[in-house]
Amino acid sequence: MTPRKLITDYIADAWMGGDAEGLEPDTPIAELNIIDSAAIFDLVHYLQGEFRVTVPLPEVTLQNFRSVNAICALVDRLRQNEGGTAA
């Protein structure tokens, strides 16, 4: 399963009742009103466990979490910085 699919499925399961309809890779997540500022850290925890990356607090920004594509780009960048395999 691709990182994009894993992240989409996680968001759908955690905050959309398992239904990813309307959650396209470039859909602005903030506009869906499904994740609040506290829940973003649940997503960070998921990313750290699933993709074995460390998400530094300065990286937890609206820009990095604006869409599934943005989250995938963040994971790719963190993996490269940590010497891992890109997603």
- Check pLDDT > 70 for residue 54: yes
Domain membership flag for residue 69: yes
Domain membership flag for residue 33: yes
Domain membership flag for residue 20: yes
Domain membership flag for residue 68: yes
Range of the domain at 36: 3-81
Domain membership flag for residue 46: yes
**pLDDT class of 21 with cuts at 50, 70, 90:** very high
**pLDDT class of 83 with cuts at 50, 70, 90:** confident
Which CATH number does the domain housing residue 12 bear?
1.10.1200.10
Return the residue matching tokens 């890779």.
25
Domain membership flag for residue 62: yes
Amino acid 3 reads P
Output phi, psi for 78, to 5 deg: -65, -40
Domain membership flag for residue 55: yes
Output phi, psi for 37, to 5 deg: -65, -30
Domain membership flag for residue 86: no
Q: Which residue has the higher pLDDT, 38 or 87?
A: 38
Q: ∠ CA 42-29-35 to the nearest 5 degrees?
A: 35
- What pLDDT shows up at residue 26? 97
Residue 52: CB partners within 8 Å, gap ≥ 6?
Answer: 84
* Structural domains counted in the chain: 1
